[in-house]
Amino acid sequence: MEKLKNADDLQKFRKSIESKHRPDMVRIFICTTGCRALGAEEVCRAFKAEIEKQSLTDKIEIVDTGCQGLCARAPVLTIEPMGVFYGRVTETDVPEIISRTILKGEIIERLCYVEAGKRIPYIRDIPFYSKQKRIVLKNCGSVDPKNIDEYILGEGYLAFSKVLSGMTPDQVITEIKNSGLRGRGGAGFPTGNKWEFVKEAQGDTKYLICNGDEGDPGAFMDRAVLEGDPHSVIEGMLIGAYAIGSQKGFIYVRAEYPIAVEHLKIAIEQAKSRGLLGNNILGTGFSFDLDIKMGAGAFVCGEETALIASIEGKRGMPRPRPPFPATSGLWGKPTNINNVETFANVPVIIRKGSEWYKSIGTASSKGTKIFALAGNVKNTGLVEVPMGTTLREIVFDIGGGIPGRKKFKAAQMGGPSGGCVPAQHLDLPIDYETVKEVGAIMGSGGLIVMDDSASMVDIARYFMEFCQDESCGKCVPCRIGTKRMLDILTRITKGQGKKEDIGLLKELAEVTKTASLCGLGQTAANPVLSTIRYYLNEYEELISRKEVQAPPQQGTAT
């Protein structure tokens, strides 16, 4: 690969790629990450074989992409420049797609998205896409994540070049602070403030870490970004490293994400080959190197200090704070940690400016948020919307509503340590503050929809079982509190509950919440407290009737 030696080289290289673009070439974008489980790779191979067979290689190009979002229709593909979207495509559909749609311009109705009985062939008209605002997900599904040149063609690394050639670290931090970007990993701490703490911390060696340890059941936002647009994360990390004065970074990603790991390895090597990672980047004297650390899947390693311990080769367990990682983190050095989605927001903020970014969202929560929409909803998949979008808009306008003529009952927000939001709050504008008011948390973006067949007591029991199993056991409140709450919930669902159990659950929940060492224990009781708050009658009925409730049949998304 040609190594770029300065900012001018990057601009020239981008223009050279642009000059080779052929507007007459038909490009078929096929999701081969999440859709892989349902035969996308076979579809991809069938297209390549058919194109070769018909001698159409000079007219049609197949692009393997990341997740295109609408997982409920997998395997999915889009055909450009026509803008046609097809779902649930099989190998047998391939010859017809080429002969009818590509060569004749005809629409194959059975492969189109259906809304209210109407078939919609063009992606621009599908509500799932048209009602989103895709900033972080802009490239996911529309570029080959294994080809750095496609990222560069789409203005990739221009923000990093802008930073190196004309901004001081303080100016970068000021721009991020002014944008209002808050951490997308759950806590929502202002990103610019976090960077400033590390920059001002004493120490010659400083580390930058990307937290890709996504462990919430039903959540796959970070996985999709790492699989579909890894360079956006790398570029965000490069800008962050320049701002805080770091020369070494780590991407911590769970080993259960093999495609994400594979694409990250390719992206890092390509960035190095192009001179965008390593020593003396773009001839500026700035150096930054990046390694991947694979985690073993412990949920608690999503917590900063536990993640740091894991990178150091220790058992992933949280430690008391202070000292905070900003002053004493990885190997005792000042360390900054942001999650995947946070870093992926950074390049577009630098490129388009903080004023543009903060015009999106609410007064206290700026920009967009990605949600993994799963459960009892028609359009399961990845959704990116402005902060302040209502739950109703996500579930019904984008998600297509509840299938099977059933009614919306609740949405579990924020993962296993989040809360259940009932139907009465469907018009809740989703941002960091309002979500807390109703007993849930934003979390990393898991959003599981439940219909009126769900038992909310069993939902609480399920998430408590997860939290209890994932508790590292270091502190007593979490270790014992989650176990006792799980015992009581299990007893109630088996028809062996007692009247005093509800009061005892509340007491245990508050103690666990107040006294636990880390975020896992501090939020583990949220499903219990929120279900008691909104569905107390279900607890009382189970206790009074003394009958066993079968677990609800919840849908999932991959």
Q: 247, exposed or middle or buried, with CB in 10 Å at 0-12, 13-18, 19+?
A: middle
Structural class in CATH, domain 456-545: mainly alpha
Rounded CA gap, 524 and 513, in Å? Answer: 7
Which amino acid belongs to residue 169? P
Q: Helix (H, G, I), strand (E, B), or coil: what is residue 21?
A: coil
Sequential pLDDT tens for the chain (558 residues)? 789 999 999 999 999 999 888 888 999 999 999 999 999 999 999 999 999 999 999 999 999 999 999 999 999 999 999 999 999 999 999 999 999 999 999 999 999 999 988 999 999 999 999 999 999 999 999 999 999 999 999 999 999 999 999 999 999 999 999 999 999 987 789 999 999 999 999 999 999 999 999 888 888 999 999 999 999 999 999 999 999 999 999 999 999 999 999 999 999 999 999 999 999 999 999 999 999 999 988 889 989 999 999 999 999 999 998 999 999 999 999 999 999 999 999 999 999 999 999 999 999 999 999 999 999 999 999 999 999 999 999 999 999 999 998 999 999 998 887 889 999 999 989 999 998 888 888 877 889 999 999 999 999 999 999 999 999 989 999 999 999 999 999 999 999 999 999 999 999 999 999 999 998 888 889 999 999 999 999 999 999 876 444 455 444 443
**Who's near 282: CB < 8 A, 6+ residues apart?**
4, 5, 6, 7, 9, 10, 161, 164, 165, 275, 276
Rounded CA gap, 38 and 332, in Å? Answer: 45
- The size of the chain, in residues, is 558
Confirm if 254 and 215 have CB atoms less than 8 A apart. Answer: yes
Q: How many CA atoms lie within 13 A of 298 on its CB side?
A: 21
- Of the candidates 67, 305, 94, 329, the one whose C-alpha atom is nearest the C-alpha of residue 198 is 329
Which amino acid belongs to residue 73? R
Rounded CA gap, 452 and 261, in Å? Answer: 39
Rounded CA gap, 241 and 338, in Å? Answer: 12
**What is the structure's pLDDT at 557?**
42
Rounded CA gap, 335 and 407, in Å? Answer: 47
**What is the structure's pLDDT at 199?**
97
Q: Where are the alpha helices (DSSP H) in 279-382?
A: 304-311, 340-352, 354-358
Rounded CA gap, 77 and 87, in Å? Answer: 7
The β-bridge partners of 407 are none
Rg (CA), the chain: 24
Confirm if 97 and 108 have CB atoms less than 8 A apart. Answer: yes
* CATH level 2 (architecture), domain 148-358: 3-Layer(aba) Sandwich (3.40)
**Who's near 179: CB < 8 A, 6+ residues apart?**
192, 349, 354, 357, 358, 366, 367
Give domain 24-80+84-121's CATH number out of 3.10.310.40, 3.40.30.10, 1.10.3720.10, 3.40.630.30: 3.40.30.10
Every domain of the chain and the residues it spans: 24-80+84-121, 148-358, 368-451, 456-545
**Who's near 234: CB < 8 A, 6+ residues apart?**
267, 268, 271, 276, 277, 290
- Of the candidates 462, 357, 442, the one whose C-alpha atom is nearest the C-alpha of residue 391 is 442
Which amino acid belongs to residue 69? G
Q: 21, exposed or middle or buried, with CB in 10 Å at 0-12, 13-18, 19+?
A: exposed
- The CATH T-level fold of domain 368-451 is Ubiquitin-like (UB roll) (3.10.20)
Confirm if 267 and 148 have CB atoms less than 8 A apart. Answer: yes
- Rounded to 10 deg, the angle between the 526-545 and 456-470 helix axes is 130
Confirm if 337 and 255 have CB atoms less than 8 A apart. Answer: no
For the beta carbon of residue 235, count every other beta carbon within 10 angstroms: 28
Whole-model pTM: value is 0.94
Q: Would you give the DSSP letter of residue 37?
A: G
Rounded CA gap, 419 and 447, in Å? Answer: 10
Both tokens of residue 177?
A: 């602070």
Confirm if 214 and 223 have CB atoms less than 8 A apart. Answer: yes
Rounded CA gap, 40 and 270, in Å? Answer: 25
For the beta carbon of residue 503, count every other beta carbon within 10 angstroms: 11
**What is the structure's pLDDT at 547?**
47
Rounded CA gap, 396 and 413, in Å? Answer: 16
Q: 124, exposed or middle or buried, with CB in 10 Å at 0-12, 13-18, 19+?
A: exposed
**What is the structure's pLDDT at 555?**
46
Rounded CA gap, 484 and 521, in Å? Answer: 13
